[in-house]
Amino acid sequence: MAHPSTFPAEQWLAQWRGTPGLLNLADTYACPISIDDLTSLSTEKDDGPLITSSKLGYGSTNGSSELRQSVAKLASGQGTQLTEDDVVITQGAISANFLVLYALLGPTDHAICVYPVYTQLYSVPETFGAQISFWRLKEENGYVPDVQDLEHLFRRNTKMIILNNPSNPTGAVIPEAVLRDIVEIAKARGIIVFSDEVYRPLFHEPDSAPPPITTFGYERTLATGSMSKSLSLPGIRIGWVASPDRALIAACSRRRDYTTICVSQVDDQIATYALSPAVQPALLRRNIDLARRNRRLVEDFVAAHENRCRWVRPGGGTMAFIQFRGAEGGQPVDDAAFCADLVNKCKVLLIPGSHSFGCGEDFAGYVRLAYVCDTAVVQEALARLGKYLEAHPWDQTRVMADKKNSAVAEDDLKKRNTGSINTATNHTDSRGFTRPQHSTSGAEPSEPDSARGVTTATNHTNDSGVTSPGEDMSKKRAEKSGNSSL
Ligand SMILES: Cc1ncc(COP(=O)(O)O)c(C=O)c1O
């Protein structure tokens, strides 16, 4: 088996998560909730989620019947009714995704995956020897997949189309009409459509929200989801796979037996309670309101700094993909160096785009900013980011420009934040600057320029940050991996 790829966003987060005083706009769950909070949201007078008298045996293999029924409802609609037998409970969506990709893709298979996307969705199949073509999402198209591009990406052995809706990292939503087109195309070829829907049902405009992929009347569809994002419970590690196709669910279940006897019974109880009719509507209302309120803050920020940044306003999920540019020349910043500097000087944590989602070469200057956390945190982080931009033009090679300006910025920030900023800690180095591997050769990729403090932005992207459509991307990746058949 090939070596597993690295997971740059996770590595980046792991460096700083837990740093005292950090304003974290990197983690993508809606503001987490406690068991007490959850209980207080309930419209019924009850004792909360835990049945403290229940014996903590293994419990049902695929997850409790009650929990699977609730998940089946989430994956139903438009005349498609899923049942508990169409659902497998997993440890978070990360396990659900792994299971789907492990069970259904192998060395003889090809899959088409939207890009940029949560790295796991293409790196895991590559690890198992499958070939991947990127379906490039274009900024000028609002990061909605262009169905015309899809036609060029099919191969004789294409087995799966991989979507993520709403998207990590862009926050874009694939509308119902586009999903319908994708399903029709897939159906005509008998191809599986797998959609990671972990950010459902957090849509800013719930009335125009697309239905789950499992409800389009095509059996060969799978959706994954979890309690982590829109339901504010990332700490209970509950996720799922749902599909109207029993054979696909059985394939996932068979593979699951090797890693999971059952999920935690305590987690299962909490998830069941949170999804109950007495709690779920209030929890979702809380998070959609929070998302809409905080998106306005980010929108105001982008408008106030339009000479330095731009975005496609997200329609769902918990994050935005924003490009930052230099003050004079307008070149994209070196996003990894920019984000590292921001942590060190302002204690604001973001995720660098080209580093974490662009294979070290696409999406130069972009950062992922997660905003469905505490509103006060978003406000303070954006205030610090604004100050930072004023003090850092980011025009020349960043090292020189940055050194000159950092003293001014630090003074300003110290005054603003009553000395709470720790400026003397980390340096930008190669920690976390590893690129994902796209070959199955197991060879380690070389360190990207960003790790050496060199701005690479202008070499790879045009002014709009857009490079090439999907097919070119896979060619580019094939060249890198030395596999020209890709
Ligand atoms: C698109 C996507 N899928 C899956 C996951 C995994 O989430 P969890 O395992 O917490 O449910 C994440 C986490 O960030 C994600 O962004």
Q: What is the pLDDT of residues 22-35, one digit of tens each?
A: 999 999 999 999 99
Ligand 1 centroid – CA 94 distance (Å): 5
Let me know if 423 is exposed, middle or buried by CB neighbors in 10 A (0-12, 13-18, 19+).
Answer: middle
Does residue 403 carry a pLDDT above 50? no
| Ligand 1 atom closest to residue 9's alpha carbon, by position in its atom list | 14
Which of the four pLDDT bands, split at 50, 70 and 90, describes residue 256? very high
Neighbours of 77 (CB within 10 A): 14
Ligand 1 centroid – CA 198 distance (Å): 6
Does residue 461 carry a pLDDT above 70? no
Is there a cis peptide before residue 116, judged by omega within 30 degrees of 0?
yes
Q: Which two tokens stand for residue 366?
A: 């972009």
| Sign of the torsion angle spanned by Cα atoms 70, 75, 78, 84 | negative
The pLDDT, as a whole number, for residue 81 is 97
φ, ψ for residue 115, nearest 5 deg: -155, 130
Does residue 202 carry a pLDDT above 70? yes
For 228-237, the pLDDT digits (tens) are: 999 999 999 9
| Ligand 1 atom closest to residue 225's alpha carbon, by position in its atom list | 11
Q: Which two tokens stand for residue 400?
A: 């020189």
Whether 165 lines ligand 1, by a CB cut-off of 6 Å, is no
Alpha-carbon span 228 to 451, nearest angstrom: 32
For 263-286, the pLDDT digits (tens) are: 999 999 999 999 999 999 999 999
Is there a cis peptide before residue 393, judged by omega within 30 degrees of 0?
no
Does residue 452 carry a pLDDT above 60? no
Q: What angle do CA 331, 332, 335 make, to 5 degrees?
A: 150
Ligand 1 probe mutation, 97, 198, 369, 373, most atoms within 8 A of CB: 198
The pLDDT, as a whole number, for residue 5 is 62
Which of the four pLDDT bands, split at 50, 70 and 90, describes residue 208? confident
Does residue 187 carry a pLDDT above 70? yes
Does residue 179 carry a pLDDT above 80? yes
Alpha-carbon span 206 to 279, nearest angstrom: 18
Which of the four pLDDT bands, split at 50, 70 and 90, describes residue 429? very low
Do 56-277 and 283-397 agree at the fold level?
Answer: no
Q: Which two tokens stand for residue 308?
A: 């330095």
The single-letter code of the amino acid at 87 is V
Question: In the chain, where are the structural domains located?
Answer: 56-277, 283-397
Pick the CATH number of 56-277 from 3.40.50.720, 3.40.640.10, 3.60.15.10, 3.40.1280.10: 3.40.640.10
Q: How far is CA 180 from CA 174, 186, 205, 213, 214, in A?
A: 10, 10, 19, 9, 11
Q: For the residues 320-332, what does the mean pLDDT come to? A: 94
Alpha-carbon span 405 to 384, nearest angstrom: 15
Name the residue with higher pLDDT: 117 or 361: 117
Ligand 1 probe mutation, 91, 229, 233, most atoms within 8 A of CB: 229
| Sign of the torsion angle spanned by Cα atoms 68, 242, 130, 432 | negative
Does residue 384 carry a pLDDT above 60? yes
The pLDDT, as a whole number, for residue 463 is 28
DSSP E strands: which ranges in 333-389? 348-349, 351-352, 366-370
Please state at what angle helix 335-346 crosses helix 375-391, rounded to 10 degrees: 110
Q: For the residues 344-368, what does the mean pLDDT come to? A: 94
Q: Which two tokens stand for residue 330?
A: 């307008």
Ligand 1 centroid – CA 128 distance (Å): 20
**Mean pLDDT rounded to a whole number for the chain:** 84
φ, ψ for residue 322, nearest 5 deg: -120, 135
Alpha-carbon span 182 to 192, nearest angstrom: 11
Alpha-carbon span 82 to 68, nearest angstrom: 10
Whether 360 lines ligand 1, by a CB cut-off of 6 Å, is no
Q: What angle do CA 317, 368, 346 make, to 5 degrees?
A: 125
Alpha-carbon span 150 to 181, nearest angstrom: 10
Let me know if 480 is exposed, middle or buried by CB neighbors in 10 A (0-12, 13-18, 19+).
Answer: middle
Let me know if 299 is exposed, middle or buried by CB neighbors in 10 A (0-12, 13-18, 19+).
Answer: middle
Does residue 454 carry a pLDDT above 80? no
Does residue 71 carry a pLDDT above 90? yes
- Range in 69-73, 177-181, 370-374, 468-472 the model is least confident about: 468-472
Which of the four pLDDT bands, split at 50, 70 and 90, describes residue 396? low
φ, ψ for residue 143, nearest 5 deg: 60, 20
Which residues on neighbouring strands pair with residue 349, listed in sequence order? 24
Q: What is the CATH number of domain 283-397?
A: 3.90.1150.10
Whether 100 lines ligand 1, by a CB cut-off of 6 Å, is no
Alpha-carbon span 283 to 340, nearest angstrom: 34
For 347-357, the pLDDT digits (tens) are: 999 999 998 99
pTM to 2 decimal places = 0.83
Q: For the residues 408-418, what does the mean pLDDT come to? A: 35
Ligand 1 probe mutation, 89, 226, 231, most atoms within 8 A of CB: 226
Q: Helical H runs in 75-224?
A: 92-104, 120-127, 147-151, 176-189
Does residue 182 carry a pLDDT above 90? yes
For 82-135, the pLDDT digits (tens) are: 999 999 999 999 999 999 999 999 999 999 999 999 999 999 999 999 999 999
Name the residue with higher pLDDT: 323 or 355: 323
The pLDDT, as a whole number, for residue 329 is 81
